[in-house]
Amino acid sequence: MKRVSVQGLVRFTQHVRREIAAPLTAEGKARLRTLIERSTRVVDDLLHREGLSDRHLPAPTRAALLFLRGVNVDALPSAAESVDSPPRGPAPILRLTGLPSKFEALLDALGNPASLVTRDAVHAAIIGEHRHVERLIEHHGVEPASLHADHRNMRGWLAYLAEPAHFERYASALDLARRGLEAAAAQNRRRSAALWIHFRPMRGIYRIRWNEQRTLLRLPTPMISFDAAAFEAMGRTIFLPEGRDGAVLNRMQSAEYRSVESALEAASGAVSLSRGAVHDLTASFDRVNAAYFAGQVARPRLAWSDRVAMCKFGHYDFTRDEVQIGAALDAPHVPEFVLDSVMHHELLHKQHGLRWSNGRGHAHTPQFRADERRFSRYAEADRFLAELARRARGH
């Protein structure tokens, strides 16, 4: 099937989401309405000219277009007019020039088993870069929310490791991890190069890259809380067939792991991502927790995804204790009960956990499905989501 590429529409949709996250003046609404109408008309004209339909657009573009068509600017909250206030726009996202390359160099200096740089020298470099980043933030006069998410996480890593006790813990974890991982790695035929280890800001359990020069293993920074047994389980998970048994995931949900994770977030200046342009995830959690869990579920992290996608409306990250809801549901045409049904589904994942069998974790067990159907408007919400996905596919 022929595909039509439309550059910038997904990015524009993210701009719109930031724009409508706070009340708009009448002037702001008029400006936004014009921008949305102009953007959607450009796409519609392009499709008409080519004799095509929405289904010929790539999925992200199609989802973005559907979101924009659903924005009712007139129904958005209104802000008071002020002759002294300039037109409001979304806060700019600040990237700190040079930070990613310096960050990777620090990780390599620590993670390279043959590094010629002493750890004391690396720690001094971390302290220097931490101070430099803080000076830049002060110079630009920005809040943590204005930093690009990746740069904000790097800032937290630098601030955390600038503390001598935290750096020593990181260094000790590198030695412990190498001993625990090397034994399993030696049994893997594919692994032939030296093992480099990065404890870094990231999602998931691990990422690995193989080449002739090195085997680069990336692990979440809070894994510095692991003991020898946990790193041995990590080695089995990564390097050995049928090595997964849930031990690593269980350890990532421990109090020690969560403590390091919380300290890193505090150091980064983490911002709440639960308030969307239209819906509030905290309010949704409170409603669902009271109605279906007797208020007994501890609130996880709540965040809107940064993409308007229709293939996945929600996700529970066991490793971060985070419920992430698809940005496509943060729209005026999405009823509150539909959002709550997705929140209910994700909180059931938190409650039920994973059931492990033959090295695989199973989430949607029969008991899970039975509890899922306890949601009072389950069938209605399911139909709404199915129709939303169908429209996004262009069917």
Contact 271, 289 (CB under 8 A): no
Q: Measuring CA to CA, which residue among 264, 265, 302 is closest to residue 286? A: 302
Q: Is it the case that residue 43 has pLDDT exceeding 60? A: yes
Here the tokens at position 344 are: 């209910």
Helix (H) or strand (E) holding 219: strand 214-220
State how far the Cα of 123 lies from the Cα of 20, in Å rounded to an integer. 43
Question: How do residues 227-238 score in pLDDT, each as one tens digit?
Answer: 999 999 999 888
Query: In this structure, is the dihedral angle defined by the CA atoms of residues 307, 313, 316 and 319, taken in order, positive or negative?
Result: negative
Per-residue pLDDT, 151: 94
Here the tokens at position 47 are: 């499709």
Question: How do residues 207-216 score in pLDDT, each as one tens digit?
Answer: 999 887 888 9
Q: How much is the mean pLDDT over the chain?
A: 86
Across 128-132, 235-239, 251-255, 309-313, which has the greatest mean pLDDT? Answer: 128-132
Strands 214-220 and 207-210: antiparallel
Contact 43, 96 (CB under 8 A): no
Per-residue pLDDT, 242: 66
Residue at token pair 């008991």: 367
Across 49-63, 169-183, 354-368, which has the greatest mean pLDDT? Answer: 169-183
pLDDT-wise least confident of 120-124, 187-191, 225-229, 278-282: 187-191
Q: Is it the case that residue 89 has pLDDT exceeding 80? A: no
For 246, half-sphere exposure in the C-beta direction (CA atoms, 13 angstrom radius) is 11
Strands 301-304 and 322-325: parallel
Question: How do residues 336-370 score in pLDDT, each as one tens digit?
Answer: 999 999 999 999 999 988 877 666 677 888 999 99
Residue at token pair 């890593």: 157
Q: What is the largest CA-CA distance in the chain?
A: 71
